[in-house]
Amino acid sequence: MRRRRIQKGSVVERSGGWYVRFYAKDGKMVTRWIADKDHVHHSAKCRPVKILQQAKMLEVNSEQDAADKGSEMSLADFWAGTFSPYIEGQPQAFDRRLLRGPAAAYE
């Protein structure tokens, strides 16, 4: 199972606004707008900007978690769909007597 990736993101200033920069699921760097630069959001380290950064990254991380839920494979599925057909197609590659015990448990 793949380890869950939790990103914090980096706050950057561009074109008079604050953006959060992070990596998308495909590995590309992505930048998303979070606020305009004004007297309330005056610094990348001020509290209102940090709160908006955390909210955006919570949204990004939960989207990635939802996408990862359907990609998990159980051991029984791997055995039946991948390993067992591979073993049956190999003429003398494996001693089938050694595989008889685990094979009986998953078939």
Q: What would the mean pLDDT of 5-10 be, rounded to a whole number? A: 87
**Number of domains composing the chain:** 2
Whether the predicted pLDDT of 86 surpasses 90? no
Q: What would the mean pLDDT of 54-70 be, rounded to a whole number? A: 79
Q: Is 3 part of any domain?
A: no
Please give the C-alpha separations between residue 44 and each of 10, 41, 47, 50, 67, in angstroms, as whole numbers: 9, 8, 9, 7, 30
14 and 64 part of one domain: yes
Q: What would the mean pLDDT of 31-60 be, rounded to a whole number? A: 94
pLDDT of residue 104: 55
37 and 65 part of one domain: yes
What is the tens place of the pLDDT at every residue in 11-45? 999 999 999 999 988 889 999 999 999 999 999 99
pLDDT of residue 6: 83
Neighbour order of strands in the sheet with 10-14: 10-14, 17-23, 29-36
Range(s) of the domain holding residue 101: 75-106
pLDDT of residue 18: 96
Average pLDDT, the chain: 80
Q: Is 4 part of any domain?
A: no
Q: What would the mean pLDDT of 66-84 be, rounded to a whole number? A: 73
60 and 79 part of one domain: no
